[in-house]
Every structure is written in C-alpha cells, then in structure tokens.
Structure 1
Amino acid sequence: MSEAEFLVSGATGHTGGAAIDELLKMGRRVRAYVRSDGERAAALRARGVDIAVGDFTDIDRIRAAMEGIRSAYFLHPIAPGIIGATAYFAQAAKEAGVTAIVNMSQISARREAKSHAAQDHWVAERVFDWSGVATTHLRPTFFADWLVYPHLGKDIWARKKIEFPFGNGRHAPIASEDQGRVIAHILANPKGHEGKTYTLHGPVEMNHTEIAAAMSKVLGAKIEYAPTSIEEFKQNMEQVLKFPPFLVQHLVEVAQNYRDGIFAGTNDNVEKITGTPALSVPAFIEKYRHVFVGQGR
C-alpha cells in the first residue's frame, strides 16, 4: 500500500466521498476502505487514492487497511452490526497506532432511543470512547440530500410536492458535502477536537413548508409540502420502496423524533471547523437544479 495518512470508510458514498474530495484538495494522501474493487474504486484509484478492500466483519482486513494511518473515518450504514463493527475498527486502529477517529453518528443517538439504529449509534459512540483512541463524534440533522436522492428528488419534481410525515417540525438541512469537509478537516487537524461531539446543522432552521417555498423560488415552479401520516410513510417504505425492516423501524421512529424537535436547531460548526459556511437550502437546490429540471448547474 502507499504511504497514505488517512483512512476513509464509506468512500464511495456521500460523506466519505466528499471527505476524500476535500483531503485531495488539501494535497493529502488518502486510503479508501471499500467493500469491492469495482468501477467506483477504480475511479478513486485514478485520482491517486489508495484502495483497501474489505468490510467491517473482518478485523484482519481492517487492521491491514489501518497500516501507516494516523486518522480514520468510520461510517456504518443504517443496518444491523454497527456495535461489532465499531469494536473491530477501534481495536484495529489501536493496534496500528492510529491517533484520531472521526465517527459518523446521528442526531437522534441516545440511550433511550426507540430506534434500534439510533440506540446502537449511541452505544457505538461509547465503544469508541472506551477504546482510548481519541474520537470525534458527528451528529448531523437530516441531510439536505434527502431532497435530491434519486427516488425522492424526481418524485418531488413530478408531483410538485414534498410528502414527508414531519408535521410542522423544523430542522436546518445539512449537505453531505459540508459534512465531508468537516470530516476532512478534523482528520487532517484533529488537535482540539478529541473527545468532542458536534451536532451538524445547516445555516437556517426551516419547516417543510418553508423548504418547499425555497425550492419553488429557485426552480421557478410551485412546490408544496403535503404532510403524510407516519403510517402512510411506513407503508410506502415497506410496499413501494422495499426498504429492509431495520431501516423502516429506524425511519418510523425518527419521524416521530423529528416531530418532537430532536432534529431542530442550527449552529455554525461547519464554518468554525472548515472556515467556509454550510450551504443554505436555496444554494443547495441551485447547485443540484439538474436533478429536478434536467439542466446543468
């Protein structure tokens, strides 16, 4: 393997990919931990990224990927297995002499969470804390990317409606690319971030009626917020989207959390850590206009 300084898991996903982009801009040497050496891994390799192949069930592969690394990013999907994966990742990091970990958690992570995934994230945070490897926990609110994910953005544009079960709850949407910049900056300069937990928000707290109005203004078409019930949301995930039961259970519970205000708030953590403010909803929608209307930026 090359003399990479930083290990990024979830490297072909949204936050991991954005973290790699930022680290490469900094001129840093990066290793990506990927599940398969396919086209997306090849694209990273072509950009000078070292590739390590494995998953979170094999501590020996994780340990090999950690060789020579000084800071590592941990991202686990919303799926069973995060606690064991965290233990393997932390132990491998400790054996390899890694000095800092950035852990992607979630804003609803807490001991009493009804979501199995959210409770597991809280326990995973504790495992990293026990490990002795200095860890920074990131707890983002809902991603702005929810508005542009393939099965959502096209549907919003087709129906001219945002149909979520969030009532009149509020949050400040945070773009995955802004999270990636935070991850990269902490990986590159972890001093002062050790043991910290950062909630990550966009710059303006909004409800979905306000989000729809902002989208309407940018896209030049009337988009409405049409709130659904949590039960309708659940049925759509099960019957139409075919989400796995673990993910459905999580999203049902966080929908109620959202209504209860757990995802609310705003701060300037992105700007404090990276030196650049987080994208607002209008700026985000303008940047990804092509998702809705088939045009370039």
Structure 2
Amino acid sequence: MRPASRQWLRPSVRPLRGEQTSVDTSTSPPVLVTGTTGRHGSTGAHVAARLRSEGRQVRVLARRHSERTKQLQAMGAEVVTGDLHRRETITHALDGVRLAYFTYPIDAGVVSAAANYAAAVQESGAEVRTVVLSMGPAHPAHLSDRGKDQWLAEEILRWAGLDVLVLRVAAAFHENLHVLHGPSVRERRVIRNCFGDARVSWINGKDAGELAVSALLHPERFDGPVCYPPGADEASHADIAAMITDATGRPVRFEDIDRTGWRQDLLDLAATDPTGVINADMADHISAVGWSIRDRGPTRPADREEVRRLIGHEPVSLGEFIARSRDAFLDGGTAAETDGAGGTQDVQDSTATMQASRTGSQNTSAGVGAAGR
C-alpha cells in the first residue's frame, strides 16, 4: 500500500486571478468530477462549470446522460458514463486524471462507493489528488448513521493511501429550507423541526461548491487532510421564520417538535416529493442532525470572513437567499424553480454568478479586506 502523502500541500494547478502559475490549463490533465447530477445543492455541476470557467479540462462521471450533462458538454466538459458502484467504469474515467472531486448524496452506499473509488485509483497506478466534499456529522459516534457511514468512507480513502483533502463543511445548505420546509410554509405557514432554538450555521450550495473549487485549485488555503470549513451565517429556525415573513409579507412561525415527529413529517413529505431529494435516509439523517445540534450546538460556529478567505469572494448570505427565492415560500411556488434547487439553469448560472460575485468582492475589498452535498 502506498503511504499516505501530503501532496495536497503542493500547489500544482491554476490559482485564482492575481496569482501566477506555469501550468498550461489547455493541455493539463482533465479533472474528474462526480456528483454532477445531484439534486441537493448541485455542488457537482457547479464545480464542473466553475472549473471550465477557469480554463480547466473537465471529465464528468455520470450514470446516464441528461439535460444536466448536455449543459456541461455545451461548456466543453467531457461526459463519461459510469457508476461509483462499478469499479471498472471508474478506472476508465480516471485515465489520465491527476485531480478529482468526490461527493456522494445523503443516501446508503457511500462506503461501497468510496471502496470502489479507492480500488480504481490504486489500479490506475496514478497519483490522483482527491477533494472530498463531506459534512460536519461525519464522525464514528454521531447520532446519524449516514454521518457514521461518511466518516468510514473517508477512512477507507485514507487507509488506501490516497492523497485526499476532506472538506467536512460544518453548515446546513440554504437549499434545505426549500426542500424540507417549503411545502409546509406554502400550505400552513409553519416551519416544523427538532432543532429547537439552536442557532444553525448556514452556507449556500454554490458556496459549498466554491469551497471544493478552491480546494482543487488552491489546496494551500486549507488545513488538511481533514478540515471543517464553516458556514457564512448563523440563524435559528425561528429567526428564519421571521426572515421569510419579512420577505413574503405573510406570517410564518416556527414549531418545535421532537425527532420522531419530524422524521415522520419528512417521510410523509417523501411520499409526495417530485424531486426525489427526500427519502428515508435523508429523513433519518437530518432529524438526527437536528436533535444533535439541539443538544450540543453546531460543529463549528459560522465565520463569514473565513468563508470569504477560502473561496476568494463574498459568500451568499442567508438573507439574500431567502429574498431572492421568496416565491418558493408562496402559494404555487416550488423548490425546483428556485435558485440552487438542482435544475439545468444552475449549470448555466454558475459562471455568471461567479463573475458577478468576483466583481462585487473587488468593489468592496477596500472596506472589508481582500478575500462551509
């Protein structure tokens, strides 16, 4: 077995604007990106689009062709069909790759996926530096079984001697609000869950993707091989109910319930969820996370300045997200038509959003100083 290395410290790829490099990105090896058809946060699609905007060659591993992969192909990405549970397809996708992005949905199977990926990298014989987008609950003693599975999957990658940088993002995605609470806000004007009055750390799904892009292109910004990027904002769900009230002009309240009650609410929602994001695994996981944060608090407090330093621009605030997607909380709205909900429009918007964010951060840098699945 190859010894675990700290190659992630070696800046071997193209830095962001203002930094110098000798890498010719037009002829550099492709970056392998998984999770591009994910429906929660859309981090994989955002990573692929952003890498293309930086001039990187991108190879997408997808189980099937879709509107999302067509959008990525139009941006110049190479799409190969394969599955993280079929080692031989991963081996094929890794041909010529030296840099990869690994992510997996909140669902059973991440341990098997990691084992297959590790075996494929070993079989390739190449030194592939891998950035793993993980979560704060990845811990062997966490209340969530999916958190335990994620931790074990990461251990497998490290035991295999792979060169990994694991980003255990210590924040909930803004997009959770649409997926988990949009229907109840629209129908009954209520947010129900088991977080209690705990203040939760929050990050936008695209900014989580930006953390991964930064880790791929600028590993020296991160303390690794395992690190805990924070969220950009903190707010309780009662605070969020008040923010939605202000944005929509309709009163929304927060109702505190126990873990079992929220899990059942989520299972009921899964039965009618057209996006397929909510399932039994998600219901078990997020209700366990809520109960844990209620009892112990977040893994790490929010730190907006740290997120800005890591991604190189101003992160999206929770208030901005709610204001921009207010229609998702009104009668007739759906999560699928809002920002960051996983549609093909997210792929088209990624480069434009990034360019606007950079412009904004440059305009404000004199006042605030230059530069969280």
Tell me, yes or no, whether TM beats 0.5: yes
Q: Could you tell me which of 228, 245, 252 is aligned with 1:216?
A: 245
Q: Deviations over 1:139-179 (max 9, x none)?
A: 22211111123x63243233322222211111121111001
Aligned position for 2:325: 288
Overall identity of the aligned pairs, in %: 27
Q: Is 2:192–2:257's contact at 8 Å kept on the other side of the alignment?
A: yes
Q: Deviations over 1:194-224 (max 9, x none)?
A: 7332323332221111122223223333322
Aligned position for 2:14: none
In 2, Cα distance between equivalents of 1:143 and 1:218: 19
Instruction: Classify 1:286/1:4 alpha carbon distance in 2 versus 1 (closer, same or farther; 3 Å).
Output: farther
In 2, Cα distance between equivalents of 1:280 and 1:286: 10
Shift of 1:45: 1.2
Q: Could you tell me which of 310, 323, 342 is aligned with 1:273?
A: 310
Aligned position for 1:66: 94
Q: Is 1:134–1:194's contact at 8 Å kept on the other side of the alignment?
A: no
Q: Alignment partner of 1:173: what SS?
A: strand
Q: Deviations over 1:28-83 (max 9, x none)?
A: 22111111112222222122111011111111100111112221111112222211
Aligned position for 1:156: 185
How many residue pairs are counted as aligned between the two chains?
A: 295
Aligned position for 1:139: 168
- What pairs with 1:1-297 in structure 2 (closer than 5 Å)? 5-13=30-38, 14-94=42-122, 95=124, 97-140=126-169, 141-149=171-179, 152-191=181-220, 193=222, 195-242=224-271, 244-260=279-295, 261-263=297-299, 265-267=301-303, 268-293=305-330
Unaligned regions of 5+ residues in structure 1, if any?
none
Q: Is 1:66–1:93's contact at 8 Å kept on the other side of the alignment?
A: yes
Q: Alignment partner of 1:48: what SS?
A: coil
- Name whichever of 173-182 and 40-49 sits farther off: 40-49
In 1, Cα distance between equivalents of 2:168 and 2:214: 16
Using CA pairs below 8 Å that are at least 6 residues apart, which structure has the higher relative contact order? Answer: 2
Unaligned regions of 5+ residues in structure 2, if any?
1-26, 272-277, 340-373
In 1, Cα distance between equivalents of 2:223 and 2:230: 20
Q: Alignment partner of 1:105: what SS?
A: strand
Instruction: Classify 1:40/1:296 alpha carbon distance in 2 versus 1 (closer, same or farther; 3 Å).
Output: closer
Q: Deviations over 1:178-201 (max 9, x none)?
A: 011111121123345473323233
In 1, Cα distance between equivalents of 2:102 and 2:82: 13
In 1, Cα distance between equivalents of 2:75 and 2:237: 38
RMSD: 2.5
In 1, Cα distance between equivalents of 2:97 and 2:292: 37
- Name whichever of 166-175 and 237-246 sits farther off: 237-246
Q: Deviations over 1:225-249 (max 9, x none)?
A: 2222222212222344245444333
TM-score for the superposition, normalised by structure 2: 0.72
Q: Alignment partner of 1:226: what SS?
A: strand
Instruction: Classify 1:241/1:192 alpha carbon distance in 2 versus 1 (closer, same or farther; 3 Å).
Output: closer
In 2, Cα distance between equivalents of 1:209 and 1:283: 17
Q: Is 2:232–2:317's contact at 8 Å kept on the other side of the alignment?
A: yes
Q: Deviations over 1:57-116 (max 9, x none)?
A: 111100111112221111112222211211221232342524311112211111212322
